[in-house]
Amino acid sequence: MVQILDGSACSKEILNDIKLKVAKMAKKPSLAVILVGEDPASQIYVRNKEKTAKELGFISKTFKMKENTSANELKDLILNLNLDEDTDAVLLQLPLPEHLCARDFIELINPRKDVDGFHPINTGRLMSNSNPYALSCTPKGIIRLLKKYNVEFEGKNAVVIGRSNMVGKPLAQMLLNENATVTVAHSKTRNLAQIASSADILISAAGVGGLIGKDFVKNGAIVVDVGIVRDENGKIKGDVNFEEVSQIASLITPVPGGVGPMTIAMLMENTLELSIKNAKF
């Protein structure tokens, strides 16, 4: 019988715990979110982040910049936030408008305030398993959720579908740091079903609705669906054909209610952790 990996419940517990800690802090953690342009999905994400941060008692500041913001304007804002002692964590909402290169601006964020863990100092420290200031929120949330359900990683075959800098690559590294044997598949991979079905732990972050059917899954495998895709009726679904795969998996995340809520919980946890580390620095 399959068990659901309940990201909503796990996230609620983490957020409650953060709220209790913040209530006892004299100086509240402070999160600055930068939103450039009018991307509708980004506006919703930023609103949710701000709402959650405020509910936890954080100081939450959102900087909304015009679509045609120049590189210098964005650079000035980031450098000012780096210097601002009242800002613990800086999040640059992606994607940026086409004329701005995300990588350039991520590299400007002080790694000690890089709440998404995307700065090369933090990704490099993740690679060498040596204390990044922050770990990328979605992969961190996946590992946390699996641990909550007592999943063991050591010696397991983990297959990650997707090699993005935001999800696939940091996730593969975190699994490796947990002593899993990791395979990373992507859009050019041949025989994806064969590779995926060798996995004890299969994590799909391709963003292709229904990509993972039961032919991709070994009996009893643990399946994590990172994908967020809208169907023709605007309903959110994932990469995994849940109906089919839940008949053979041992543990599976739903979409929604799996990885999504864990991502936001990890963003809040990272903000809290950066504020504590920065206060000691």
76 burial type by CB count under 10 A (0-12 exposed, 13-18 middle, 19+ buried): exposed
49 contacts ligand NAD (rule: CB under 6 A): no
Per-state percent for the chain, helix, strand, coil, to nearest 5: 40, 15, 40
239 CB contacts (<8 Å, ≥6 apart)?
A: 161, 204, 205, 206, 207, 208, 209, 210, 211, 212, 225, 226, 227, 229
Question: Between 105 and 144, how does the x/- string for binding to ligand NAD read (CB under 6 A)?
Answer: ---------------------------------x------
The residue whose two tokens read 């696939």 is 168
User: Closest distance between ligand NAD and the C-beta of residue 265, in Å?
Assistant: 10
| Nearer CB in complex with ligand NAD: 75/186 | 186
234 CB contacts (<8 Å, ≥6 apart)?
A: none
260 contacts ligand NAD (rule: CB under 6 A): yes
Q: Are the C-beta atoms of 177 and 135 separated by less than 8 Å?
A: no
243 CB contacts (<8 Å, ≥6 apart)?
A: none
| DSSP letter assigned to residue 244 | H
Tell me whether residue 76 is one of the annotated catalytic residues: no
User: Closest distance between ligand NAD and the C-beta of residue 85, in Å?
Assistant: 30
161 contacts ligand NAD (rule: CB under 6 A): yes
Q: Are the C-beta atoms of 65 and 81 separated by less than 8 Å?
A: no
Task: Identify the residue among 49, 112, 156, 163 touching ligand NAD (CB under 6 A).
Answer: 163
213 contacts ligand NAD (rule: CB under 6 A): no
| Nearer CB in complex with ligand NAD: 69/138 | 138
Which position among 49, 140, 156, 169 bears the catalytic label?
Answer: 49
91 contacts ligand NAD (rule: CB under 6 A): no
Q: Which residues bind ligand NAD (CB under 6 A)?
A: 138, 161-164, 166-168, 185-187, 189, 192, 205-208, 211, 226-229, 259-260, 263
| Catalytic residue list | 49, 93, 116
